Structure 1
Amino acid sequence: MCQICFEAVAGSGLMHFCHCGSPDTLAAMRRIEADLSRRQMLGGMAAVMGMFAGFGLAPKEGHAQAAGAPLLLTNLKYFDGNTLSLHSGVDILIEEGRIAALPAAGQGPAEAERIDCGGRTVIPGLIDSHWHTTLASVSQLAAMTQDIGFVHLMAGKEAGATLMRGFTTVRDVGGPAFGLHAAVDRGVVAGPRIFPAGAIISQTSGHGDFRFQNALPMMPVDQADYATKAGVSALADGVPEVLRRAREQLMKGASQIKIAAGGGVASQYDPLESLQFTEEEMRAAVNAATDWGTYVCAHVYTSAGIQRCIRAGVKSIEHGQLADEDTVRMMADHGTWWSIQPFLADEDANKYTDPKAVAAQKMVAEGTMRAFEWADKHKVNWSFGTDILYGGGETQAKQLTKLARFMSPLTALHRATGAAGDLLAMSGARAPYDGRLGVISEGAFADLLVIDGDAEAGLDWLADSDNLRVILKGGRIFKNSL
């Protein structure tokens, strides 16, 4: 008997049974708690929105279709994301955030809201398959030392800029992106769809070990370093630890798992040619991901590292520019994806003074040109990504234009739309979005760009966001300058 009922009985002298645990009482309490929670949530959301607005992060002005009213794009040509030619003679009908139909021109429903594209080309929203949402807009020093709230606010600001560059989806391959992913999906912040990997899983001394040498040796009683606590990386040595760290990222909502399987160009400790994680350790991450219906992608450059990854069951090679032709054949034979970035040691590349890093950067640039050639020659599945880190996000679209040096413009667009969408689909049930991305077809998400530019002749128009006249994500209009 609860205290209130006990006092009531004691004061009346009557026998009384407590009803506090009855179904009717519990149902009433749930209604009261739900109402209080709703009020607290609304108050909290108002405070969060105010905070984001003060930092320039409130959702961009946009609107969805009126309730029950479809949206119809008319007077257009379109690239479907896969076929290497433009289509015409149809309109694009959008309902409930998806492409409902491609009716013959002039045959769409009369009640639809219309956007006259003026004969322009419509393409799928772009996909960056190698992006670091929380690390793209801050320096490395800031990422590893500043208050994590500042890092996340900067990431939110960059997310809005990413969407305005025409990238409606990114595959995040390392960093604490889960919070921003939730905020974007809830409409608190404008940004692209995010496929988050969570922390990069790295061995001690590996590409994701950001500690200083004076932090060694690590002892069982030591607290986690800042990068680990912030969710940038997760250190693991041995099969049990790799299993644990992979499962932790899955628990957080990872759509794929990212491991570091080799060194980096400018890594402070790990040489570019170093092999990281044994095959058994890699297989542990693969088993954890496979058990949840998804896959592992791996940072690695060299042939030996790539081959170890393939033998362990890794499904996506990130970078890989130092692969020899036999290794590329092996990727093709195993159906392994290749996420290639246009690392060309050009004006947009990271600047190094260390002679070893300069030499490594040159090797990777030479390998990049071979990578495009061999990927095409051996029919490897590959997709476009940028890997922009620590500033330089404004060059994201410009990086895509560089692919036109090695292939036709529509082939390059395919690698950032239809092909990239196929790579994202490997997340299976762990994918955050239940629908096709990177294509213009019935049932696909209505992530679309209306462009000023000849997509068959070149991609230079991508470098200026003013040429993106309409940006839609999920049927919502985030920009319309027509």
Structure 2
Amino acid sequence: MGMRAAWTVIAWILLASTTAALAAAQDTSTPQAETAQPTGNAVLFRNVRVFDGVSSQLSAPTNVLVRGNVIASISADAAAATDARVIDGGGRILMPGLIDVHWHNLLVGLPVIAALQADEATLNIVGVVEAQRTLMRGFTTVRDVGGPSFSLKRAIDQGRVPGPRIWPAGAMISVTSGHGDFRTPRDLPRTLGAPASFMDEIGGTAIADSPDEVRIRVREQLKQGAALIKLTAGGGVSSPSSPLDVVTFSEEELRAAVGAANDWGTYVTVHAYTPEAIQRAIRAGVQCIEHASLMDDESARMIARTGTWLSAQPLPRELADAFPVGSTEWLKAQEVFDGTDQTYKLAKKYKLKTAWGTDVLFSSALAGRQGAILASMSQWFSPPEILIMATSTNAELLKLSGKRTPYKNDVGVIKEGAFADLLLVEGNPLEDINLVADPERNFKVIMKDGVIYKDTL
């Protein structure tokens, strides 16, 4: 880490707790936590009906005992836990914390121009604030698929600031002119091996134009603690010099990334919209496709045949508000939005292994609708299917990280030995999925890692 980066991390760690607390106090849409400290040896959720993240059926009234940061028992007998703090659920539903597998911790809170021009300290401090808000929406785990979130993850894991568990990918690796290359023409030509831009320098993006450079960039992310690797295999919306139809990395370059990641026991996921980008990535051994918003029937069959994961997003049209109406980026966004319906229909037709995420960028206000974006999946799936996808199915995708998985217990499920990441819900989200769109009103208790961050009972 360079001196500037080191001083940045020191600065935001010193400021983080104060900043997050002030942000929560000033943000009327997000309730403050009753406590952000461990609650003691044990917590007993008494008289709850459990949605375990796997079954579409609720349990009979039961009791869930948490000891430390894991679920110790699920039992009809509550008498044995005499040392536990008791939370009487009153028949409410206890469910696993929600998981978003396409999130950008440090790129969600600022408008696009501000984010691309911000200094490191600003990005990190805004990231701290947004991390707390994410947790208070009931999202106890996220997969960060592009951005310098390693320091934020460490601060959260150390208990310095509240936030979700993070499976980080580190920099989004792209090619010259690809999605993620935010340079202007006056920044060209670059010296091979040198940082391409400010975003490259701080670890937001990484440009690689040969198999050897790809291996270097992948290994740089793994050295910093990446749980997975993210490449942009095709064009994107937010990068002005990247048309949607282009295919970026060669198959040889993609294989270099897959090989380097596999050597570390983890995997590569790729940003890809078009059939060409999807199919080339799969031929190279990529195990997960992000978006696939423009895929065709042949691509869907290839995904099914190879067992590749599809990480799709029901992108809200408000995402385009980050760009001027009629701009190249705005027009590309409309094309992507128009493909969403077909993507989910193909996913259902071929029973693809489908994970869920949001991909909110450059809008703190839209990030506040994280639960509403999940609820919008009701256009294609039933409430139980949606909740299973956002808990245990997403957790299965996280397991592709293998030995690079940063947290060793299960998430996304309620079972003995799993992490105690839990939500106590007012109402039945298995019948009314829109309950998750209003976490302030409907999530009565939010627990992550055995720590209660909200308790309005």
Question: TM-score when scaled to structure 1?
Answer: 0.86
Aligned to 1:478: 453
Residue 382 of structure 2, aligned match among 408, 411, 424: 408
Aligned residue for 1:76, secondary structure, equals strand
Residue 296 of structure 1, aligned match among 246, 268, 275: 268
Question: CA, structure 1 residues 226+443, in 2 after alignment: closer, same or farther (shift >3 Å)?
Answer: same
Aligned to 1:118: 90
Aligned to 1:205: 177
- Whole-angstrom distance in 2 between the partners of 1:348 and 1:72: 45
Residue 443 of structure 1, aligned match among 414, 417, 428: 417
The Cα shift of 1:364 comes to 2.2
Q: 2:416 matched to 1:421?
A: no
> RMSD between aligned alpha carbons?
2.1
Aligned residue for 2:76, secondary structure, equals coil
Aligned to 2:27: none
- Whole-angstrom distance in 2 between the partners of 1:422 and 1:378: 19
Counterpart amino acid of residue 449 in structure 1? L
Aligned to 2:16: 52
Aligned to 1:271: 243
Aligned to 1:9: none
The Cα shift of 1:224 comes to 4.0
1:127-276 alignment runs, 5 A limit: 127-219=99-191, 224-276=196-248
Question: CA, structure 1 residues 105+370, in 2 after alignment: closer, same or farther (shift >3 Å)?
Answer: farther
Counterpart amino acid of residue 87 in structure 1? S
The Cα shift of 1:83 comes to 1.0
The Cα shift of 1:109 comes to 2.4
Question: CA, structure 1 residues 116+158, in 2 after alignment: closer, same or farther (shift >3 Å)?
Answer: same
Question: CA, structure 1 residues 49+244, in 2 after alignment: closer, same or farther (shift >3 Å)?
Answer: closer
Counterpart amino acid of residue 419 in structure 1? T
Counterpart amino acid of residue 263 in structure 1? G
Question: CA, structure 1 residues 221+399, in 2 after alignment: closer, same or farther (shift >3 Å)?
Answer: closer
Q: 5+ residue gaps in structure 1?
A: 1-44
Q: 2:272 matched to 1:324?
A: no
Question: CA, structure 1 residues 308+136, in 2 after alignment: closer, same or farther (shift >3 Å)?
Answer: same
8 Å CA contact 2:108, 2:367 repeated in 1: yes
The Cα shift of 1:356 comes to 4.9
Question: CA, structure 1 residues 378+477, in 2 after alignment: closer, same or farther (shift >3 Å)?
Answer: same
Q: 2:368 matched to 1:394?
A: yes
- Whole-angstrom distance in 1 between the partners of 2:420 and 2:321: 33
The Cα shift of 1:88 comes to 1.8
Aligned to 1:379: 351
8 Å CA contact 1:93, 1:108 repeated in 2: no
Aligned to 2:5: none
Residue deviations 1:236-294, cap 9 Å, x none?
Answer: 01110000000010000000000010111343011001101000100100001000000
Aligned residue for 1:162, secondary structure, equals helix
The Cα shift of 1:223 comes to 5.6
Residue deviations 1:160-211, cap 9 Å, x none?
Answer: 0000000000000001000000000001110000011000111111101111
8 Å CA contact 2:196, 2:207 repeated in 1: no
Q: 2:45 matched to 1:73?
A: yes
Question: CA, structure 1 residues 105+363, in 2 after alignment: closer, same or farther (shift >3 Å)?
Answer: farther
8 Å CA contact 1:130, 1:385 repeated in 2: yes
Aligned to 2:30: none
- Whole-angstrom distance in 1 between the partners of 2:51 and 2:129: 30
The Cα shift of 1:220 comes to 5.0
Counterpart amino acid of residue 360 in structure 1? K
The Cα shift of 1:111 comes to 2.8
8 Å CA contact 2:51, 2:57 repeated in 1: yes
Counterpart amino acid of residue 451 in structure 2? R
Question: CA, structure 1 residues 346+271, in 2 after alignment: closer, same or farther (shift >3 Å)?
Answer: same
Aligned residue for 2:333, secondary structure, equals helix
8 Å CA contact 1:77, 1:87 repeated in 2: yes
8 Å CA contact 1:294, 1:428 repeated in 2: yes
Residue deviations 1:371-391, cap 9 Å, x none?
Answer: 222212211111110111111
Q: Percent identity?
A: 42
Question: CA, structure 1 residues 354+474, in 2 after alignment: closer, same or farther (shift >3 Å)?
Answer: same
Aligned residue for 1:71, secondary structure, equals strand
8 Å CA contact 1:181, 1:194 repeated in 2: yes
8 Å CA contact 2:20, 2:132 repeated in 1: no
Q: 2:430 matched to 1:456?
A: yes
- Whole-angstrom distance in 1 between the partners of 2:238 and 2:263: 34
Counterpart amino acid of residue 220 in structure 2? E
Corresponding residue pairs, total: 436
8 Å CA contact 1:72, 1:108 repeated in 2: no
Question: CA, structure 1 residues 361+222, in 2 after alignment: closer, same or farther (shift >3 Å)?
Answer: closer
Residue deviations 1:88-143, cap 9 Å, x none?
Answer: 23211111211111112545423322110111111100000000011010122222
- Whole-angstrom distance in 2 between the partners of 1:299 and 1:146: 24
The Cα shift of 1:65 comes to 3.4
8 Å CA contact 1:265, 1:360 repeated in 2: yes
Question: CA, structure 1 residues 425+220, in 2 after alignment: closer, same or farther (shift >3 Å)?
Answer: closer
Aligned to 2:29: none
Counterpart amino acid of residue 57 in structure 2? S
Question: CA, structure 1 residues 385+47, in 2 after alignment: closer, same or farther (shift >3 Å)?
Answer: closer
- Whole-angstrom distance in 2 between the partners of 1:99 and 1:48: 33
- Whole-angstrom distance in 2 between the partners of 1:361 and 1:388: 13
Question: CA, structure 1 residues 347+251, in 2 after alignment: closer, same or farther (shift >3 Å)?
Answer: closer
